[in-house]
């Protein structure tokens, strides 16, 4: 009905009918859209990286398809701990969420001493949507042309060989430690302040190998400055069908090797179950779309869809795995 047009009913009756119509229309909207409250998706890193891209793509999909009023807020610092803690401490009212990944949720609780929270237990999983592997690369001038070659050299002279990472405690650092440990060897970790300088120095032959993020590493592979030996995921990446997984190398000690980062959304503990279920369903619908998965591919990631329970199980598995690597290697942030 048109509430602004003259109507024979008394004005009080018209007012009641208009209110009822508005309530009925609101009830047809998606669960969170009914609330018309601003929702925050906190990214615990600076703008521009893969975490930020995934968060913005997800928020865009939720807003466009389901009418959410979600904004992305970058809160970088302390290896992702600053933004993560802000969500742990946020009111569990269904308006604040975290873009989580393995580093902040499953690695940092074991890596950082003195944290006043544990992301794995103090946050509530909503859904997971992606996974990304790393790329094992060597300088283009290196005589090593396979994982088996690198494994042989590490066993022979591991105490002399170096590997670069984008910083202490990062996925590249801990993957390198896990790789050497699996071989019963040692390698010298050389941390850099970021991905670009670590790969540039590798291309210049100043270090022996690195586990780098796929987009950045592949740019230098295509430029002829690095050689890709393998991906660290359990299987080959769709974007790199000719690059084997480390587990395919034929090296017995590496037959079960796998290192990847899981991306998902988490909420403060105590967030209403219905809010979590509704958002989780919508996240998985957005993540299953062709446009979202295309963006994942550009960033070197693949879909990994799972509900709250599946994401929680993944977090427990990864937390135990990386805690063991950190303990064995003595790695610190």
DSSP line for 280-323? HHHHHHHHTSHHHHHHHHHTTEEEEEE-HHHHHHHHHHHHHHHH
Q: Using alpha carbons, select from 38, 39, 105 the residue that is nearest to residue 264.
A: 105
Could you tell me the sign of the dihedral formed by the alpha carbons of 42, 44, 46, 51, in that order?
negative
The pair of structure tokens assigned to 90 is 């946020």
How big is the chain, counted in residues?
333
299 contacts 133 by C-beta, under 8 angstroms: no
Give the span between the Cα atoms of 121 and 114, in whole angstroms: 16
- Does residue 220 come out as left (phi exceeding 0), alpha (psi in the -120 to 50 range) or beta? alpha
261 contacts 128 by C-beta, under 8 angstroms: no
128 strand-pairing partners? 264, 306
DSSP line for 185-202? ---EEEE-SSHHHHHHHH
Tens-of-pLDDT digits for all 333 residues of the chain?
A: 444 344 444 434 444 444 444 433 343 344 444 444 789 999 999 998 899 999 999 999 999 999 999 999 999 999 999 999 999 999 999 999 999 999 999 999 999 988 999 999 999 999 999 999 999 999 999 999 999 999 999 999 878 999 999 999 999 999 999 999 999 999 999 999 999 999 999 999 999 999 999 999 999 999 999 999 999 999 999 999 999 999 999 999 999 999 999 999 999 999 999 999 999 999 999 999 999 999 999 999 999 999 999 999 999 999 999 999 999 999 887
96-101 vs 123-139, strand pairing mode: unpaired
User: Helix, strand, or coil here: 259?
Assistant: coil
pLDDT at 1: 41
Question: What is the number of other CB atoms lying within 10 angstroms of the CB of residue 23?
Answer: 10
Tell me the whole-structure pTM to 2 decimals. 0.86
123-139 vs 209-213, strand pairing mode: antiparallel
């Amino acid at each position: 009905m048109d509430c602004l047009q003259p109507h024979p009913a008394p004005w009080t009756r018209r007012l009641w009918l208009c209110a009822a119509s508005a309530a009925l229309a609101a009830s047809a909207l998606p669960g969170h859209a009914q609330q018309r409250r601003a929702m925050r998706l906190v990214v615990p890193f600076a703008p521009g990286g893969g975490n930020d891209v995934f968060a913005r793509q997800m928020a865009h999909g939720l807003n466009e398809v389901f009418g959410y009023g979600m904004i992305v807020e970058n809160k970088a610092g302390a290896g992702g701990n600053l933004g993560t803690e802000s969500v742990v401490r946020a009111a569990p009212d269904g308006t604040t969420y975290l873009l989580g990944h393995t580093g902040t949720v499953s690695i940092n609780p074991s890596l950082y001493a003195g944290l006043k929270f544990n992301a794995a237990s103090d946050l509530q999983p909503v859904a997971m949507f992606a996974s990304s592997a790393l790329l094992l690369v060597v300088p283009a001038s290196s005589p090593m042309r396979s994982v088996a070659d690198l494994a042989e050299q590490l066993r022979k002279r591991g105490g002399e060989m170096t590997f670069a990472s984008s910083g202490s405690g990062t996925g590249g650092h801990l993957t390198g430690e896990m790789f050497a440990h699996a071989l019963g060897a040692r390698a010298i970790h050389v941390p850099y302040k970021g991905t670009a300088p670590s790969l540039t120095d590798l291309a210049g032959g100043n270090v022996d190998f690195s586990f780098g993020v796929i987009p950045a590493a592949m740019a230098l592979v295509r430029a002829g400055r690095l050689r890709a030996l393998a991906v660290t995921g359990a299987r080959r990446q769709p974007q790199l069908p000719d690059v084997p997984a480390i587990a395919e190398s034929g090296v017995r000690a590496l037959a079960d090797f796998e290192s990847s980062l899981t991306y998902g959304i988490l909420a403060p503990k105590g967030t209403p179950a219905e809010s979590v279920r509704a958002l989780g369903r919508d996240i998985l619908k957005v993540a299953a779309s062709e446009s979202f998965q295309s963006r994942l591919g550009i960033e070197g990631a693949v879909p990994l869809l799972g509900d709250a329970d599946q994401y929680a199980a993944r977090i427990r598995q990864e937390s135990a795995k990386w805690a063991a690597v950190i303990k064995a290697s003595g790695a610190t942030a």
